[in-house]
Amino acid sequence: MSNMVMSVDDVRRAVTRIAHEILERQQGSASLALVGLQRGGAWLADAIAAAVHAIEPHATVPVGYIDVSMHRDDIGLRPVVPGAISRIDFAVDGTTVVLVDDVLFTGRTVRAAMEGINTYGRPRAVQLAVLVDRGHRELPIRPDYVGKNLPTHVDDDVRATQDGVIITSRVSS
């Protein structure tokens, strides 16, 4: 059974709010960088960057994308097939990197991304922005910016795109 829990407008408003919160917390866009997690976080990083630009037209916030396959902790437990290629063509040293992902679940992907970021340099700070936090964390990871907190069953499937967030329950009853 599928259920739309965020509409296209809900997503747009959440992105705008996250952009505001980031700027507010950083007190501006200087030395701020966004890194989307391949593949689900890439569009969201682009959307947040666009929202930041709409708020502060003179800001230039670099956006990168990181594929975390090589940093996963389940390598060796299942065949790992990398997705899109990482692209971070700015120096991360001294910046505040906001990792961006669509759905925060166990936290393992974010852990891998935090490790991955370190192969590019040493950021001043690393923060985390997600569109949906669906709970069931397996690691001590907490998002700094959340679009929506969404209680889910551990077996539910959550799809988050620009067009909305859909939750599909795999459990009958």
Partner 1 sequence: MKHLRSIDELGHDGVVRLLELTRHMVEINARPVPKVPALRGKTVVSLFFEDSTRTRLSFETAAKRLSADTMTFSVSTSSVNKGESLRDTIETISDMGVDAFVVRHKSTGTPWQISDWTNASVVNAGDGWHQHPTQALVDCFTVRQALGVERFDGLTLTIVGDIKHSRVARSNISAFSMLGANVVLVAPPTLLPPDVAHWPVTVSHRLDDVLARTDILYMLRLQSERMSQGHVPNLREYGETFGLDAARAAKLPSTAVIMHPGPMNRGVEMLVDPSALPNSLIHQQVANGVAVRMAVLFDLLAGESSTAHLATVAS
The alpha carbon torsion through 73, 161, 63, 140 (nearest 10 deg) reads -40
Nearest-CA neighbor of 49 among 21, 15, 25?
A: 15
Q: Check residue 75 and report its DSSP letter.
A: B
Tell me which of 28, 30, 82, 170 binds partner 1, using CB under 8 A: 82
Rule CB under 8 A: is residue 80 a binding residue for partner 1? yes
Q: How many residues touch partner 1 (CB under 8 A)? A: 23
Which of residues 65 and 145 has its CB atom nearest to partner 1 in the complex? Answer: 65
Tell me which of 29, 86, 95, 109 binds partner 1, using CB under 8 A: 86
CA–CA gap between residue 153 and residue 150 (Å, rounded): 10
Beta strands (DSSP E) in 1-86 are 2-6, 32-37, 63-66
Nearest-CA neighbor of 167 among 140, 143, 135?
A: 135
Cβ-contact 150, 4 below 8 angstroms: no
Rule CB under 8 A: is residue 106 a binding residue for partner 1? no
Tell me which of 9, 24, 76, 173 binds partner 1, using CB under 8 A: 76
Task: Name residues contacting partner 1, limited to 4-63 (CB under 8 A).
Answer: none
Which of residues 40 and 116 has its CB atom nearest to partner 1 in the complex? Answer: 116
Tell me which of 1, 9, 24, 79 binds partner 1, using CB under 8 A: 79
Residues near partner 1 (CB under 8 A): 67, 69-71, 74-82, 85-88, 115-116, 118-121
